[in-house]
């Protein structure tokens, strides 16, 4: 087996131009989200690529114009050998072309890097995985365990194409999310968005403001925008409390944040504001759930409201999560904890060490990926891919070509060895 792998590693080096062209092909598909609903062409292309390699194809629409593609390559002895999911998303961050030196969707090579929207996040990683699988198939290697390639939509806007794969019943003994990690083996915290809404029981003309803010005015009312400012202050106090009282290995103190991201309120200048909505983004640690942190926030704000005469009678309303930042303006990304002693993590570490001559860093992502959905479904998972977060979503986004080649080589060895490993009896 090692000799077979060494031959493929040499081919990966010799044929790296094919890898680069494959990555350029994927980047050239314009799939920014938002606006989304634009991935059918790239997904059809990937489905065709996998089909030519003997994968069975499952393609279905998650949203109109945004289908998932899952390719399954059945192993020769699936019941006795380990199976693997490799997961990646084909949507990319939205594009403002100002500042780009080239068309974001006409990738170019520059200073040893591939430049284009999605190069780092994460079409470079997807290209490497597809190229590795092609090299394995072209070599005539029949893997004993199953390989499942998930090409999903919606990650950039909280539309969990990966969750839909889980709902459809796709499972494996281990999963690698080939997203941006700079070749670190990573877990992640979680994210949930929420809306806090305040609404006055009465609507007042702006001329009555004196009556509700000065002595003897006799009017029980308030500007809901001003009351929301009090809630924002309270969220900041809770955020600071979390930074002091909570921690998790690998995260800098205070990474668990409550971001007041968007505020909407008021009718127009002739009225006292009688409605206000605050959209918040909450980052939490891998050993927490989104239900737990949402409950903490609600409890804190409700206690704050108990201390305010007006808020006691006009309680805040909370709405959490959602399935799409586009469709219902909400999202959830569950957390993911890496088990450094899992045999697949050990195998991935060994493959990394063989190529890079050093052990990989095992840590936590400062962002979130679809890996949380796989982990949440009971599949041991890691984030492991090329590219770094400084380039993800950036103007003139780029990824090192050398890193793409290294990642291809690492995944070649890992796929072959893991899918040739017998399951524990």
Q: What is the mean pLDDT of residues 124-152?
A: 98
**pLDDT at res. 210:** 86
- How far is 116 from 209, CA to CA, in rounded Å? 54
In tens, the pLDDT along 170-226 reads 999 999 999 999 999 999 999 999 999 999 998 988 888 888 888 888 888 899 999
Residue 136 has pLDDT above 80, yes or no: yes
Residue 387 has pLDDT above 70, yes or no: yes
Average pLDDT, the chain: 96
> Cβ atoms within 10 A of the Cβ of 151, count?
29
Residue 307 has pLDDT above 70, yes or no: yes
Q: Which two tokens stand for residue 137?
A: 């198939």
Domain(s) labelled CATH 3.40.630.10 in the chain stretch across 2-188+336-418
In tens, the pLDDT along 37-89 reads 999 999 999 999 999 999 999 999 999 999 999 999 999 999 999 999 999 99
**pLDDT at res. 425:** 60
Cα-flanking dihedrals φ and ψ of residue 182, to 5°?
55, 35
Percent above pLDDT 70 for the chain: 100
Q: Which two tokens stand for residue 13?
A: 């080096």
For the chain, the straight-line distance linking the first and the last C-alpha, in angstroms and rounded, comes to: 23
Are 121 and 387 within 8 A, CB to CB?
Answer: yes
Residue 115 has pLDDT above 80, yes or no: yes
Q: What is the mean pLDDT of residues 273-286?
A: 96
CATH code for the part of the protein at 190-320: 3.30.70.360
In tens, the pLDDT along 83-111 reads 999 999 999 999 988 899 999 999 999 99
Q: Which two tokens stand for residue 195?
A: 């809306």
Write the DSSP assignment of 302-354 as a string of letters: HHHHHTSHHHHHS--EEEE--SBTTTSSB-EE--B---TTSHHHHHHHHHHHH
Domain(s) labelled CATH 3.30.70.360 in the chain stretch across 190-320
- How far is 304 from 392, CA to CA, in rounded Å? 38
Residues annotated catalytic, as ranges? 91, 155
pTM above 0.75, yes or no: yes
Q: What is the mean pLDDT of residues 318-336?
A: 95
CATH code for the part of the protein at 2-188+336-418: 3.40.630.10
């Amino acid at each position: 087996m090692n000799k077979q792998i060494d031959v493929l590693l040499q081919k990966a080096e010799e044929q790296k131009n094919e890898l680069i062209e494959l990555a350029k092909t994927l980047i050239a598909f314009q799939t920014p989200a938002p606006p989304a609903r634009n991935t059918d062409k790239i997904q059809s292309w990937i489905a065709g690529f996998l089909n030519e390699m003997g994968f069975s194809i499952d393609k279905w629409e998650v949203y109109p114009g945004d289908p998932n593609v899952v390719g399954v390559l059945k192993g020769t002895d699936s019941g006795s050998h380990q199976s693997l999911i490799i997961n990646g998303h084909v949507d990319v961050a939205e594009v403002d072309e100002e500042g780009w030196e080239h068309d974001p969707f006409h990738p170019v090579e520059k200073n040893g890097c591939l430049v284009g929207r999605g190069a780092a996040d994460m079409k470079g990683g997807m290209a490497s995985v597809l190229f590795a699988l092609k090299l394995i198939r072209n070599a005539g290697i029949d893997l004993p365990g199953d390989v499942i390639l998930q090409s999903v939509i919606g990650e950039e806007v909280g539309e969990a194409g990966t969750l839909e794969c889980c709902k459809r019943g796709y499972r494996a003994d281990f999963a690698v999310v080939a997203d941006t990690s700079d070749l670190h083996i990573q877990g992640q915290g979680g994210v949930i968005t929420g809306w806090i809404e305040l609404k006055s029981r009465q609507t007042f003309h702006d001329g009555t403001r004196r009556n509700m803010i000065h002595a003897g005015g006799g009017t029980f009312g308030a500007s809901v925008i001003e009351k929301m400012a009090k809630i924002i202050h309270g969220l900041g106090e809770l955020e600071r409390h979390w930074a002091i009282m909570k921690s998790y290995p690998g995260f800098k103190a205070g990474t668990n944040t409550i971001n007041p991201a968007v505020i909407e309120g008021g009718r127009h200048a002739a009225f006292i504001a009688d409605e206000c909505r605050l959209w918040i983004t909450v980052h939490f640690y891998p050993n927490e759930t989104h239900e737990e942190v949402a409950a903490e926030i609600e409890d804190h704000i409700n206690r704050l409201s108990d201390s305010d005469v007006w808020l006691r009678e006009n309680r805040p309303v909370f709405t959490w999560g959602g399935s799409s930042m586009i469709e219902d303006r909400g999202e959830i990304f569950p957390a993911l904890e890496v088990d450094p002693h899992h045999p697949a993590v050990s195998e991935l570490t060994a493959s990394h060490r063989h190529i890079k001559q050093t052990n990989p860093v095992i840590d936590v992502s400062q962002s979130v990926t679809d890996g949380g959905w796989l982990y949440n479904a009971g599949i041991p998972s890691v984030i492991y891919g090329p590219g770094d977060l400084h380039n993800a979503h950036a103007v003139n986004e780029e990824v090192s070509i050398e890193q793409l080649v290294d990642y291809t080589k690492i995944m070649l060895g890992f796929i072959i060895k893991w899918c040739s490993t017998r399951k524990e009896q």
